[in-house]
Amino acid sequence: MKETLQSFEKLLNIMDELREKCPWDKKQTIESIRNLSIEETFELADAILKNDMVEIKKELGDILLHIVFYSKIASETNEFTIKDVIDSLIEKLIYRHPHIFATDKVNDDKEVLIKWEELKLKEKGRENKSVLAGVPNSLPALIKANRIQQKARAVGFDWEKREQVWEKVEEEINELKHEVLITKDKEKIENEFGDVLFSLINAARLYDIDPETALEKTNRKFISRFQYLESQTIAKGVNLKELSLEQMDVYWNEAKEIEKKKLD
């Protein structure tokens, strides 16, 4: 612990020096580094999907730098300091874990999440606001949909049995088919397509699947298979555009078999 505190103190001292002497660091504001923070968060998410612990360590360091940077900038105008940030976090963690730091009892992790959302609403008089008020508007739509559903569940708005969600998924798909095949109204098709996606995200949540991670894994799988298709056609001197879909499927299925062997 002593060495950890020493390292953290050294980091704070370096930040002080950079803010005082580095032309780039001196110019930065809370607003100017916002996009960089978003980029670092996505880089961390990428490293996690790769299960690359070296990169995860590196990206966590970059995010920690940003936390220290924001706090340093805010301290210069007496808004808050890094100590205030840490103290606020400590207070929040203790308050939202009464089953650890008080006498409340919970049965499982799902109940912990429900209690967490209830306590969030009570903070700073937020109990009179919508349970969805805490979902950031700037979240990507897929992640936002998942968070909306999680928060709605925390106040009891959910299926009694998770299997019931499949009826909803089928209903939304049928409504989409109707708009696509019958009305052919682009706006209605878009609306129904959104409903289908929302219902599938709901299904993912009910089966403890993170939809963002699931979709990203599929993205990477598609990229790997398509690049194999490209490499094989290039090696044979074949123009990809001249192949039929059936001919492409031969290479696609080869890529799938290679993936299966790697998993085995």
* 185 and 200 part of one domain: yes
Percent of the chain surpassing pLDDT 70: 98
User: Which domain range does residue 228 map to?
Assistant: 212-263
* 129 and 164 part of one domain: no
What's the CA gap between 252 and 237, in Å, rounded? Answer: 17
pLDDT (0 to 100) of residue 124: 57
What CATH number should be reported for the domain holding residue 72? 1.10.287.1080
pLDDT (0 to 100) of residue 127: 56
Q: Is the pLDDT of residue 153 over 80?
A: yes
pLDDT band at 228, cuts 50/70/90?
Answer: very high
* 136 and 147 part of one domain: yes
What's the CA gap between 158 and 152, in Å, rounded? Answer: 7
Which range is least confidently modeled, 61-65, 114-118, 251-255?
114-118
* 153 and 166 part of one domain: no
pLDDT tens-digit profile of 63-84?
Answer: 999 999 999 999 999 999 999 9
* 48 and 111 part of one domain: no
What's the CA gap between 233 and 221, in Å, rounded? Answer: 19
* 8 and 58 part of one domain: yes
CA distances from 142 to 111, 169, 209 (A): 24, 16, 13
Question: Percent helix, strand and coil across the chain, each rounded to 5?
Answer: 80, 0, 20
What's the CA gap between 199 and 172, in Å, rounded? Answer: 7
pLDDT (0 to 100) of residue 177: 97
Mean pLDDT, the chain, integer: 91
Average the pLDDT over 16-42 and give the result: 95
Final residue of a domain: which of 42, 72, 95? 95
* 61 and 109 part of one domain: no
* 204 and 224 part of one domain: no
* 70 and 15 part of one domain: yes
* 181 and 252 part of one domain: no
* 152 and 163 part of one domain: no
Better-scored residue on pLDDT, 159 or 16: 16
What's the CA gap between 49 and 116, in Å, rounded? Answer: 26
The tokens describing 95, both together, are: 């308050």
pLDDT (0 to 100) of residue 145: 95
pLDDT tens-digit profile of 154-209?
Answer: 778 898 899 999 999 999 999 999 999 999 999 999 999 999 999 999 999 999 99
CA distances from 255 to 31, 154, 243, 247, 251 (A): 45, 42, 17, 13, 6
What's the CA gap between 115 and 101, in Å, rounded? Answer: 14
* 200 and 189 part of one domain: yes
Number of domains the chain contains: 4
